Structure 1
Amino acid sequence: MHEVLVDVEAVTRTYGTVQVLAPTSLRLHAGQGSAVVGPNGAGKSTLLRLVAGTEEPTSGTATVLGLDAPEARRRHRDRIVRLLGPAPTYPDLTVAEHLQLVQVAWAGRHDGPDVDEALAEATLDRVRDQFPGELSSGETQMFALVATLYRPADLVLLDEPEQRLDTCWREVARRLVLRALDQGRAVLAATHDPGLREVLADRGPVVELAEPTR
């Protein structure tokens, strides 16, 4: 049996008197994918933040890599990568130079394609020498996903990676996520994209969150 990377037991999150995440459970092994689905406001992003360790549950437990999620975030930074909002970038580094920086920073652990191959796979080769601030919204989102998956990690957390992507790029995104799964990574993604949901459902549980109460 593969290592359990995520073990969430009946977690909730409440802000003041408003419960933004109803009791939710999830177990995710290495090599598994899981789609978190539901309407806006159901707590998809909140669940990802609890797993990422950037927030703590009001009740229940979120264990990641055998530790409480915030402790896993501190002690196992090298094993977890996340795209939960705009990706941090350096304004004076080109798209290609960002990926080259990942190669250098993770030398010895990086076994992915070279920079030009990774950009070509994502159909970003034509913008390889542009700066992040020069990209369109779709290019920015695809670049963020490519840079996230380019970094070695055992657990990948993605919050609606399909946003601002057109039909063709959504298909590219699915292929990139599928390759991450084939590499033995675990991928937990909140998504509204039926295609990405299908890719992840083939590899693990679907977490369906209910309509929030008003």
Structure 2
Amino acid sequence: MPPPSDPVLSARELTCGYAGSPVVEGLTCAVSAGEALVLVGPNGAGKSTVLRTLAGQQPALQGTVELCGQPMRENSPFYREHVSSLFDEDAFFPGLAVRDHLELVARGHGLDNPGDVVEGALERFGLLPRADSSPYRLSSGQRRRVLLAAALLRPSSLLILDEPEQRLDHSFRKLLTGVLQQARGQGTALVVASHDHDFTRAVASSVLTIEESGVWSLGESVDRGPGDPGVHE
């Protein structure tokens, strides 16, 4: 881990896009331990594209992304040790129940007392009544809670979440907000894409606004628009 003042994640002059066509250009940002960068903007503006590029899940067209001062490589042991992520895919192992999935994560990351940790996660996310069910027999919201429980169960220096509030009702959005605030307090760096204004205000230390035109702005206020200082094209 870098010293607390050094970035956990940093991007320099980053251009994100597909097949050589940029969505966002020249993005420079950094997130240190205990900070949360939240990506906001309209559907189709490219939030998920930028998030996947920051996460090392798709190559940058230009520029660099570093994790604790090292190149961001999704398949490296260093990455697996430090990064936990959740995107909008329901990826489960066939034949495993909800509890089995969480125990696999807990044991795979060497957690002490993995059974107790898993039971706590099941209770926290309201999954105890469905713990022995296949995730594929759950509702969409319940499946989302399983994925969140798995992502938050394991220790990480950097937590990357694509619209984690999606498919959650009000009570679980409030719970998730508290969990992420606690993670920040424990020194985890967060990079999150969100459509929820209240969630963003509660979690973010900085906000990256992305417009459909590719204009981006980086600041502390979710209400800043493309005409404000600090906006780039």
C-alpha displacement of 1:82: 0.8
Please tell me whether residue 69 in structure 1 is matched to residue 58 in structure 2: no
Following TM superposition, the consecutive aligned residue runs of length 4 or more in structure 1 with deviations greater than 6 angstroms are 109-113
Structure with more contact order per residue of length (Cα contacts < 8 Å, sep ≥ 6): 1
| Equivalent AA in structure 1 for residue 127 of structure 2 | L
Aligned to 1:99, the other structure's residue is in SS state helix
Please tell me whether residue 178 in structure 1 is matched to residue 181 in structure 2: yes
C-alpha displacement of 1:85: 2.5
**Aligned 1:46-195 pairs, distance under 5 A:** 46-70=49-73, 73-76=75-78, 77-108=80-111, 114-195=117-198
Any gaps of 5 or more consecutive residues in structure 1? none
C-alpha displacement of 1:108: 4.8
C-alpha displacement of 1:111: 8.5
Pair 74,18 (structure 1): closer, same or farther in 2 beyond 3 Å: same
Structure 1 CA distance, aligned partners of 2:146 and 2:8? 26
Structure 1 CA distance, aligned partners of 2:213 and 2:44? 6
Paired residue for 1:208? 209
Pair 116,137 (structure 1): closer, same or farther in 2 beyond 3 Å: same
- 8 Å Cα contact 1:73-1:80 kept in structure 2: no
Structure 1 CA distance, aligned partners of 2:163 and 2:84? 15
Q: Percent identity?
A: 32
Structure 1 CA distance, aligned partners of 2:90 and 2:76? 19
RMSD value over aligned CA atoms?
A: 2.2
Aligned to 2:58, the other structure's residue is in SS state coil
Return 148-157 or 86-95, whichever deviates more.
86-95
TM-score under structure 2 length normalisation? 0.82
Aligned length: 210
C-alpha displacement of 1:16: 4.3
- 8 Å Cα contact 2:98-2:130 kept in structure 1: yes
- 8 Å Cα contact 1:41-1:211 kept in structure 2: yes
C-alpha displacement of 1:160: 0.6
| Equivalent AA in structure 2 for residue 74 of structure 1 | S
Any gaps of 5 or more consecutive residues in structure 2? 215-233
C-alpha displacement of 1:140: 0.6
Structure 1 CA distance, aligned partners of 2:195 and 2:127? 23
TM-score under structure 1 length normalisation? 0.88
Structure 2 CA distance, aligned partners of 1:16 and 1:117? 44
C-alpha displacement of 1:110: 7.9
C-alpha displacement of 1:73: 4.5
